[in-house]
Structure 1
Amino acid sequence: MTFIAEPITRNAEVLTAVQLATEESRATATPMMEQYIEIKANNPDSLLFYRMGDFYELFFQDAVEAARALGITLTKRGQHLGQEIPMCGVPVHAADDYLQKLIGLGFRVAVCEQVEDPAEAKKRGSKSVVKRDVVRLVTPGTITEDKLLSPSESNYLMALARIRGSSEPAIALAWIDISTGVFRLAETTETRLLADILRIEPRELILADTVFHDPQMRPVIDILGRVAVPQPSVLFDSATAENRVTRYYGVKTLDGFGSFSRAELAAASAAISYVEKTQFSERPPLGTPERESAASTLFIDPATRANLELVKTQSGDRNGTLLKALDRTVTGGGARLLAERLMSPLTDPERINARLDSITALSDQPAFCSDLRSALKHVPDMPRALSRLSLGRGGPRDLGAILAGCQAAAEIAGLLGSGNLSEELAASLRALNALPGELVQKLATLLGDELPLLKRDGGFLRDGASLELDEMRALRDQSRRVIAGLQLNYAEETGIKSLKIKYNNVLGYFIEVTQGNAGPMTEGTEARARFIHRQTMANAMRFTTTELSDLETKIANAADRALSIELEAFERMTAAVVAEAEAIKAAALALAVVDVSAALATLAEEQAYCRPHVDQSKMFSIDGGRHPVVEQALRRQSGMAFVANTCDLSPHDGEGDGAIWLLTGPNMGGKSTFLRQNALIAIMAQMGSFVPAASAHIGIVDRLFSRVGASDDLARGRSTFMVEMVETAAILNQATDRSLVILDEIGRGTATFDGLSIAWAAVEHLHEANRCRGLFATHFHELTVLSEKLARLSNATMRVKEWHGDVIFLHEVGPGAADRSYGIQVARLAGLPASVVARAKDVLAKLEDADRKNPASQLIDDLPLFQVAIRREEHAKPGPSKVEEALKSLNPDDMTPREAMDALYALKKQLAG
């Protein structure tokens, strides 16, 4: 999803259209422009593609914006209210290409077509305008065309509903992919709202205009940018929501679908209403709403998603991401399912192990797995073809995709029947076997081998599918030979060897000769009676004959009847396909599951991944772990092997809370890579994939936090250090004893002692309050003394070797603490002038000598453990009163008489209160 970090403003055309729609404006507008103004006023937030012949034209501010966005010429057409009217246009046959660019930029487009025959308009008078109306709203979240969609990415429309309550408001999300029929719901909270939205990555998010303009929502809206689109609040009315949903599905109650909250129903109703609004009379084949529990997926906050680069890098590229490194799928549905699993890892060990069982089954049968992947390569995108057919936008090739998909499904079902299957693969086999054979037989009997893109072109029914069609085709095709023979006869009769019989949409069939050769056809009464003059051109004359006109009528009728027969057959085939929509979607999902399982099995074999042991414990033991993205990049670029490392954050003796590693070592030593690889391994394990390690035992992680790297957020007035502190605060406030926390260089963005103090307190809080598993990388070597007092804290370091004044990074992690950061050596490697490096060494030596006078090791005795250790005992025994707490904070030796008197009065006031 492309986020444009700018606030949404309603289309500038809104006010213009309202102004133009006044009576004064209409009085000065041409009839066509008056029609345009009226239609535009009804669609103020969309660019209006106004059909004029073979072009879609845009006027006024729409033209200005479209010309700038598309890089096309901006022209003018007449004047209105004393000003020239800007205009630009795009050819109808190339409209999809232009729509793709506009949708990618976040625009919405109203497609306005001619809805009557121009001949009918002329009957009302010479100045009558052909009736036009908007037949479809094209928005980023409601597109279905192949050209506008990425095969490997879902295209979600999301609705956000918020219901004010007596305490915290209830918030729910509903997301729909009308190109595949996926429909899901989930409740969320204000704190995790953005994380849940980014997990789904909607192309378009609709929400009530009151919510959109709520200052509390501004941080979320600013990040989403043009993805967020305000809608009238009535669309989210929870009182009528259930009725809207039941009406759409044609049921009396939703009890058969499950139990939903008011907020979930409001979100579902809004999503359905928006689909109906944009698709007009057409209904996409949406599946029944599936409810997702927040606890069923691994919570990954927005900052963590960004710096782990799961599906896109910091620069927005897909290369260099975890998804790119894992993807070995061969179908569009499989690629989308893999991305969905990666973005929403599970927290249920049973479901995770069911997925791992499928990979194991296929890994144990490599030849079987290879045969499946070969068959899967022939599977087209059935869900998207089905959606287009249901919406009346499908063509013969979509019917062909359904047929090819069903035939491939039958082949794959046969293969699956011969293998040893996991329960998940066995369920897929049952879904494939449920495809209706009658439908496949019908499509195979009727559809030809070479299918046109558009049904209006005809030629998609095979010979023998219809006797009447065969007759019409024979007449049409034989008539071409008759025309050629007639041309030869006329040429011999007149002696004009260059005589041609041609055809156009205005004259139909006609005889054409040059003016110099026209004598035999114009001289004499008999010649003029036989060859009827039709048209004189600059260098040619055109004629017809009674014989030619009669033949043209027969040909025209035959061609029209042949096309009519094919169109009728197309509608019958489409109806038959749509009637089996549920079975087709279930089979398509089954094929996607098989594809993902086979792809991950292939990946595991190719990259030597192991099956992780996933359970409900708090274990986190990874032996010989590698970074999946970096390892593949190293192999491609230089053939080098990745240095594997072990990470063990498991509880002592397997019981209690997990451990925290305090990781020190030089820059460029590999700390950030080590931190990220363990986070990625946790995600891969819980999405149901083998992992890059010799072995891995991972107890379920409920929340994953990773803060590696830093950048500012100038748009929101935040410095790099402020962003760091905000993200750190979110982690310390939300992490639980089942979470995995990865922090890098906390406190480095401010003064040394400030940063050290913050990092010190953060480590204590993670240990005593959050009690989570964690990796904490730092250059504050003073923190290593905390391992003496914090039982679950261990020191680890990135190993280096010095050789003749140079530092060699081994990229190995081992126990212990680094004695220095080797920053000056890294600076020298970066190319700093030799004089600067030498001076830095002198300054460092003096600073280190000065620092020895106040060793940091004294801090561990001078500073008590963070007060959270006391707070954890609050539930076990009554806590001190406010007065006792205030007394404990006083130090009489440091107070002046006046300060002591003020403190005494303050204590008395607290007692009186």
Structure 2
Amino acid sequence: MNDQPTPMMAQYLAIRDANPGALLFYRMGDFYEMFFDDAIAAAAALDIALTKRGTHQGEPIPMCGVPVHAAEGYLLTLIRKGFRVAIAEQMEDPAEAKKRGSKSVVARDVVRLVTPGTLTEEALLEARRHNFLAAFATVRDESALAWVDISTGAFQVMECPASRLAPELARLAPRELLAIDGAGLDDLASEAGAALTDLPASAFDSAAGARRLAALYGVETLDGFGSFSRSELSAMGAVVDYLDMTQKGKLPLLRPPVRERVGGAMQIDAATRRNLELTQALSGGREGSLLAAIDRTVTAAGARLLERRISAPSRDLAVIHARQDAVAGLVADARLSADLRDALARVPDMDRALSRLALDRGGPRDLTAIRSGLTQGAAIAERLPEDAPQVLRDAARDLTGHDGLIDLLDQALVAEPPLLARDGGFVAPDYDEDLDQTRRLRDEGRGVIAGMQADYSAKAGVSSLKIKHNNVLGYFIETTATHAEKMMAPPLNETFIHRQTTANQIRFTTVELSELETRILNARDRALEIERGIFDRLRGAILAQAAEIGQAARALAEIDLASAFADIATGEGWARPRVDDSRAFVIEGGRHPVVERALKRKADSFVANDCALTEGDTPAIWLLTGPNMAGKSTFLRQNALIAVLAQAGAFVPAKAAHIGMVSQLFSRVGAADDLARGRSTFMVEMVETAAILNQADDHALVILDEIGRGTATWDGLSIAWAVMEHLHAVNRCRALFATHYHEMTALTAKLEGVENATVAVREWDGEVIFLHEVRKGAADRSYGVQVARLAGLPASVVERAREVLDALESGEREGAARPAALIDDLPLFRAVPAAPAPAKAKESPLDARMKAVHPDTMSPREALDLIYELKSLTGEPR
């Protein structure tokens, strides 16, 4: 038996071995085929048929495939399921391989490695979210994190100690994380939802990284971009090296790297992001998050900018005030804001169109996206007044100066071009004389074909004769077998040359038709060749101004975000917050934007509440008590979200707000098991609380809910008590501390900066009514039994709970010696006995008679007689 693989299969195995860890899409005509284990894995992941092709080492070779034209959808499924895919294309025309001999194989090579962090196709990306590829590097005692979105060109880096890696990954939510092999970042990457890619240490060499970056930007030194540490160069170099490998030398259009200042943004850890549902709801997905509730942007770039601002609120007062000024300017001029939003709604995603063009994956519609974006940008710049706020003036400046490129694209492109350049038809008439002449020949040739068909039909005397075209025969004359007989007989056979016989048709050609076909086909190919050349020139003209186009795209996103913030401020009655460098935190009539939005859908209203955590410069903590379901957690979260919105540059859902700069935001609200790490709910709670106590500074804002509830009552109370004292004496931060340990309300008498607050309720006929109103003072009850009844516990369980609660409270008031004494005095719960089944009644004569009645077989007369009979059985007179 010959176990040697065929030449084609040998080629496949060689390419696959050169790209380990990736499924190989092997181009064969109009399909990408997969074989062996790749086929088995892909067929299961894509739910497609698994077939066989030939044998290898005596075993059938598994095979599956996907059409090239639909490959993007399959790629998306595979990437979402954690696969990497190597795309092997045919590098030559199959006809060239045939010329070399019957056993020659079409040359193929991998042109791209598709990974979660290197997507550029529109169908594979979420338009309103970034798709970050990140790299973490450590050089001696320094660490850094670099990240890039190749679909937009954004490239940033920051110093990042290992202790800060988890919060930064939570902020960025990268799709893929690069790390040195063996760095042990599997858990961190998994928590951030990123695919981890291990690279050799050589990929993180800082000196080589500096050389890669200098070559990428065509400079001798990187000093013009800023001063970077060795760890930052290492991380950035790893990103560029990985992109060079996955894109097979076609590097994306990356903007110069921006060094993010440590401490430039509010620090928010992963647990706090999750608890506050900033960009993603706890249930998963975007709906229900703060981002979804406030997103009124009308462009994809504006939506991505909003997510960045919410994920990393600024700590730069000048930046915050400038952004607020832009929002205030548009709030004051509703007409201008509406005009801007109308124009912005017609702005395409220039960043991603530019990236695809740079990678040579773009098409005619990407050219028109640049044209439309710049055209709308120029119109928007004209609408902005000269005395507009500085942010809007800067944006207007970046939107001007593109007239030459706009005119070029206007002249060259049709209004609605096709998707692919190879289809042609995207260049406007009268732009290129050579193209116009070639098109005329092509189009007139079609007219000649129609005239030729009429002539041949008349000459043969066959009215049904047609001239058709396919990719195998080219142009041919087709008629039925009946009519073909006379065309194959003299003298017509001198004109009509037989070419093919099918089941129902006979096909002919003529010398004249063959000559015309040659001229037409040459014209068609020549027209496509000219259009392709024009496409390349237009692409080059755009890439020559890539930096300026990128600036214009960012300016449009800035205007979009300012107008979106203005729209929600006007529509929802939000106020401009006063943000300064004090430690004040005073909110008047604050509301939770997500909850308020949900209540409006139900035609309900939200109860606004005040919050004043400081008096002068004295740090303050509110100790919040009150029943479950009353709104404590909502109150805690809404104040944290107001701080996020204020420092993001937005107006806030409140009548008024004074917010001293929040350096760190911590939230410990709710918890869940982390069984993979062997952590109970209580352990997770304690880990999160420890992080707060060890990190919070005097400008932090901390919200805590139910500390200590996962253990025994006195243990939990002790922990909560100690945490409160530590926040007050050591961290000296602003905090909202919700608890059901009413004993802690006594702390306000001992700690100067702690004040009691409670969520008001009202009792009526044994029922509890939640007022959702936060007031000064302390609660003395938690109303847990009432809430249990509302939740639907059986009435007998609720009644028993009241009985036990009354006994425990009575015993506590009367100084019971020990809980066991109370338990001993209470009779055990007894289930209510089931009601006895009723005795079986004796069958009455009426019932017996009715059983014998068959209505379907009775005549009207018999039915009437039956009625009289039944009346007599009841004792009534007839």
- TM-score normalised by structure 2 residue count: 0.91
> Partner residue of 1:80?
56
Say whether the 8 Å CA contact 2:137–2:232 is kept in structure 1. yes
SS of structure 2 residue aligned to 1:698: strand
- Select which of 230, 241, 246 maps to 1:278: 246
Alignment-derived partner of residue 9 in structure 1: none
Paired position in structure 2 for 1:761: 722
Residue 535 (1) aligns with residue 492 (2) = no
Contact 2:457 2:464 in 1 (8 A): yes
The amino acid across from 1:584 in the alignment is: I
User: After superposition, where does 1:391-790 map in structure 2 within 5 Å?
Assistant: 391-416=359-384, 418=385, 420-433=387-400, 435-524=401-490, 526-637=491-602, 639-650=603-614, 652=615, 654-656=616-618, 658-790=619-751
Match of 1:187 in 2: 159
The residue identity in structure 2 corresponding to 1:833 is P
Once the two structures are TM-superposed, the CA of residue 854 in structure 1 deviates from its matched residue by 6.5
Match of 1:252 among 203, 220, 225: 220
Does residue 37 of the first structure (1) align with residue 13 of the second (2)?
yes
TM superposition shift of 1:853: 6.0
Match of 1:201 among 166, 173, 189: 173
1:146 aligned to 2:116?
A: no
Q: 1:255 to 1:827 in 2, by over 3 A?
A: same
Residues 846-886 of structure 1 deviation map (CA, whole Å, 9 limit, x = unaligned)? 22233346799xxxxxxxxxxxxxxxxxxxxxxxxxxxxxx
What is the CA-CA distance between 1:218 and the residue it aligns to? 4.7
Moved more, 241-250 or 839-848: 839-848
The one-letter code of the counterpart of 2:298 is V
Q: Secondary structure at the match of 1:556?
A: helix
Give me the whole-angstrom Cα distance separating, in 2, the residues matched to 1:555 and 1:46. Answer: 44
Give how far 1:269 is off.
Answer: 0.6
Query: Given that residues 175 and 193 in structure 2 are in contact (C-alpha distance below 8 angstroms), is that contact kept between their aligned partners in structure 1?
Result: no
* Structure 1, gaps ≥5 residues long: 1-23, 857-913
1:191 and 1:388 mapped to 2: Cα distance? 36
Partner Cα distance (1:588, 1:401) in 2: 11
Displacement of 1:58 after TM fit? 1.1
Counterpart of 1:905 in structure 2 is none
User: How far 1:123 sits from its partner (Å)?
Assistant: 2.1
Partner SS state of residue 239, structure 1: helix
Q: Distance in 1 between matches of 2:390 and 2:419?
A: 40
Structure 2 unmatched ranges of 5 or more: 818-878
Q: Distance in 1 between matches of 2:332 and 2:427?
A: 45
After superposition, the C-alpha distances for 1:146-200 in whole angstroms (9 at most, x for unaligned) are 11111111111111111233xxxx2111111111110000111122211101101
Q: Report the number of matched residues.
A: 817
Give the match's secondary structure for 1:296.
coil
| Structure 1 residue 82 displacement after superposition | 2.8
Q: Tell me how far 1:76 sits from its aligned partner.
A: 1.9
Whole-angstrom CA distance in 1 between matches of 2:232 and 2:806 = 64
Partner of 2:322: 354
Kept in 1, the 8 Å contact 2:177–2:189? The answer is: no
Give the AA of the match of 2:426.
Answer: F
- For 2:79, the equivalent position in structure 1 comes to 103
RMSD, matched Cα? 1.5
After superposition, give the CA deviation of every residue in 1:380-412 in whole Å (9 maximum; x if it has no partner): 111111111111111111101111111101100
Deviation at 1:581, TM superposition (A): 0.1
Equivalences for 1:301-340 in 2 at 5 Å?
301-340=269-308
Aligned equivalent of 2:852: none
Task: Say whether 1:381 aligns with 2:349.
Answer: yes
Between 254-263 and 533-542, report the one with greater CA deviation.
Answer: 533-542
Report the 3-state secondary structure (helix = DSSP H, G, I; strand = E; otherwise coil) of the residue aligned with 2:399: helix
TM-aligned CA distance change 1:256 to 1:387, over 3 Å: same
Offset of residue 141 of structure 1: 1.1
Change (3 A) 1:426 1:855: farther
Residue type matched to 1:195 in 2?
P
* Aligned with 1:131 (options 90, 98, 107): 107
Q: In the alignment, which residue of structure 2 is the partner of 1:811? A: 772
Task: Evaluate the alpha carbon distance shift between residue 290 and residue 43 of structure 1 in structure 2; reply closer, same or farther with a 3 A threshold.
Answer: same
Q: CA deviation at 1:460?
A: 0.7
Shift of 1:93: 0.6
CA contact (8 A) 1:368 1:419 kept: no
| Mapped contact 1:511–1:544 kept (Cα < 8 A) | yes
CA deviation vs aligned residue, 1:699-727 (integer Å, no higher than 9, x gap): 01111000111211111111111111111
Letter matched to residue 617 of structure 2: E
Deviation at 1:436, TM superposition (A): 2.6
Structure 1 pair 483/219, CA: closer, same or farther in 2 (3 Å)?
Answer: closer
Letter in 2 for 1:499: L
- What secondary structure is seen at the aligned counterpart in 2 of 1:297? coil
Q: Counterpart amino acid of 2:646?
A: A
The answer for the alignment partner of 1:115 in structure 2 is 91
Q: 1:855 to 1:105 in 2, by over 3 A?
A: farther
2:788 aligned residue: 827
Q: CA deviation at 1:557?
A: 1.3
Report if the CA contact (8 A) 1:389-1:574 is conserved: yes
CA contact (8 A) 1:174 1:186 kept: yes
Q: Which moved more, 1:736-745 or 1:60-69?
A: 60-69
Structure 2 residue identity aligned to 1:431: D
Residues 221-245 of structure 1 deviation map (CA, whole Å, 9 limit, x = unaligned): 4424652111222111123221111
Once residues 714 and 210 of structure 1 are traced to their aligned partners in structure 2, the CA distance between those partners, rounded to angstroms, is 24
Say which SS state the counterpart of residue 518 (structure 1) adopts.
Answer: helix
Larger mean Cα displacement after TM superposition, 250-259 or 121-130:
121-130
Shift of 1:104: 2.2
Comparing 281-290 and 296-305, the one that deviates more: 281-290
TM-score, normalised relative to structure 1: 0.88
Partner secondary structure for residue 240 of structure 1: helix
Contact 1:361 1:420 in 2 (8 A): no
Amino acid at match of 1:838: E
- The answer for the alignment partner of 1:229 in structure 2 is 197
Alpha-carbon separation, structure 2, partners of 1:70 and 1:707: 40
CA distance in structure 1 between the partners assigned to 2:119 and 2:633 by the alignment: 40
CA distance in 2 between partners of 1:475 and 1:265 (Å): 57
**Aligned counterpart in structure 2 of residue 269 of structure 1, from 232, 237, 258:** 237
Gap change, CA 1:449 and 1:207, over 3 Å in 2? same
Preserved contact between residue 182 and residue 287 of structure 1 (Cα < 8 Å): yes
SS in 2 for 1:58: strand
Which amino acid in 2 is paired with 1:610?
A: A
Partner residue, 1:792: 753
Contact 2:665 2:700 in 1 (8 A): yes
1:321 deviates by 0.8
Decide whether the 8 Å contact of 2:411 with 2:431 is kept in 1: yes
2-structure distance, mates of 1:854, 1:712: 38
1:616-656 residue CA offsets vs partner (Å, 9 max, x unmatched):
0000000100000000110012x111000011111x3x124
